[in-house]
Amino acid sequence: MKGIIPSSILALAALASAGPVNCRTEYVGPENGTLVIIGGNAQDDAIYQRIIDLAGGPDAPIVTVPTAEGSDTYDDDAAAAGTFRRLGAKNVTVLHTYDPAVADTEEFVAPLRAAKGVFFGGGRQWRLVDAYAGTLTERLFHDVLDRGGVVSGSSAGASIQGSFLARGDTATNQILVGDHQVGFGFLKNAAIDQHVLVRGRQFDMFDILKVRPELLGIAIDENTALIVSKNDAEVYRGTYVIIYDGTFWSREGSEEKNLPDSSSIFYFLKDGDKYDLGTRQVVV
């Protein structure tokens, strides 16, 4: 039997030659840390308190970013900083520039080095892209999640969290696919809209999905949050989150409903409802 190599050795050799096995699971949301995505007009203290808790409690450093608003100057209460302090957060910093060169400096990003929470305020989401995309600041936003912290935001601060930037046009917020189309991508392969029911925007997401049908569409109503970790998403407080995944779900079933085709369909989730971002299915 000289010269015959046992099959077990051949199998091991084949495995080794194939290189390392990648066992890492790909998540739509952050692998570490949590997103709190708010659909604008965030008035509910419980949502802000949840952000404080996810950051690690009252002593956790929180950075708020008002840049989307477009004002010339900001005070120490900008982008909900005053609300966080009122609720007991002791270490809140307002961070702002419109200049990407400044956003790329160590001096500017110093508060982010230790931050356990980030909150993006409302306004126009393209301003966040112009100021921070591709800079050290953007990288450190992601590092907050990598450390197990929380990234949150309302209105423009919600849309910026998606990989596709909904309503990113500099001319008007009524153009869904505009001259800025890339968000910060904390939530992958997704577009996020806001103020959806209050402003009658429930059909607007289809403007994006017609040109980017692979995306998951998420539209969040005012004073409502979607909390995301890995592939787990849960509606928190408020009214409704609308899901555009090409399917339909209803608490009362859908067998007898006359539904539109998959390119024109959506459904609603409310407080406490859970959704698997990986399988794109409601968790029941």
Which of 16-30, 181-195, 238-252 is least confident? 16-30
Mean pLDDT of the region 153-178: 98
Mean pLDDT of the region 8-28: 46
pLDDT in tens, 67-109: 999 999 999 999 999 999 999 999 999 999 999 999 999 999 9
User: What is the pLDDT, as a whole number, of residue 25?
Assistant: 58
Largest CA distance in the chain: 84
pLDDT in tens, 105-138: 999 999 999 999 999 999 999 999 999 999 999 9
Q: How confident is the model at residue 254 (pLDDT cuts 50, 70, 90)?
A: confident
Show the beta-strand stretches assigned E in the chain.
Answer: 34-38, 62-65, 92-94, 117-120, 150-154, 162-164, 187-194, 216-220, 225-229, 232-236, 240-244, 267-270, 274-276, 281-283
Q: How confident is the model at residue 20 (pLDDT cuts 50, 70, 90)?
A: very low
Q: How confident is the model at residue 261 (pLDDT cuts 50, 70, 90)?
A: very high
Which of 14-28, 135-149, 167-181, 211-225 is least confident? 14-28
**pLDDT exceeds 50 at position 46:** yes
User: What is the pLDDT, as a whole number, of residue 244?
Assistant: 98
Task: Name the DSSP class of 262.
Answer: G
Annotate 23-92 with DSSP letters as a single string.
-PPP-SS-SSSEEEEE-S----HHHHHHHHHHHTSTTS-EEEE-GGG--S---TTTTTHHHHHHTT-S-E
Please, are residues 159 and 166 in contact by the beta-carbon 8 Å criterion?
yes
Please, are residues 142 and 160 in contact by the beta-carbon 8 Å criterion?
no
Residue-averaged pLDDT of the chain: 92
159 CB burial (10 A radius; 0-12, 13-18, 19+): buried
**pLDDT exceeds 60 at position 42:** yes
Q: And the tokens for 168?
A: 């990113």
Percentage with pLDDT > 90 across the chain: 89
**pLDDT exceeds 60 at position 19:** no
User: What is the pLDDT, as a whole number, of residue 23?
Assistant: 37
Task: Name the DSSP class of 176.
Answer: S
Residue 206 to residue 45: CA distance in whole angstroms? 32
Mean pLDDT of the region 211-237: 98
Mean pLDDT of the region 201-217: 98
User: What is the pLDDT, as a whole number, of residue 253?
Assistant: 87
Mean pLDDT of the region 166-187: 98
**pLDDT exceeds 90 at position 233:** yes
Other CB atoms within 10 A of residue 213 CB = 11
